[in-house]
Chains A and B, each alone.
Chain A
Amino acid sequence: MRWVGDVFLLIGAAFSFLGALGLVRMPDVFNRIQTGTKAVTLGALSFLLGIGFLHPEWWTKLVCIGGFILVTSPVSSSALARAFLIAGVRPWRAPEDREAPAREEG
Chain B
Amino acid sequence: MTAVEIVATVLLCAAVLLGLGRLVVGPTNPDRFVSADMVSVVTTVALAGFAAVFESPLYLDVAMIYGVLSFVGMVALARVVEGNRS
- The chain A residues found within 8 Å of chain B, CB to CB, are 6, 9-10, 12-14, 16-17, 19-21, 23-24, 29, 32-33, 36-37, 40-41, 43-44, 47-48, 51, 54-55, 58, 61-62, 64-65, 68-69, 72-73, 75-77, 79-80, 82-84, 86-87, 89
The answer to whether A12 and B38 touch across the interface, beta carbons within 8 angstroms, is no
Q: How far apart sit A72 and B70, CA to CA, in the bound complex (Å)?
A: 10
The answer to whether B42 and A40 touch across the interface, beta carbons within 8 angstroms, is yes
Q: Can you list 17 A-B pairs with a CB-CB distance of less than 8 A?
A: A12-B8, A13-B8, A13-B11, A16-B11, A16-B12, A16-B15, A19-B38, A20-B17, A20-B42, A36-B38, A44-B41, A51-B48, A61-B64, A62-B60, A69-B67, A80-B74, A86-B86
Total count of chain B residues near the partner, CB < 8 A: 51
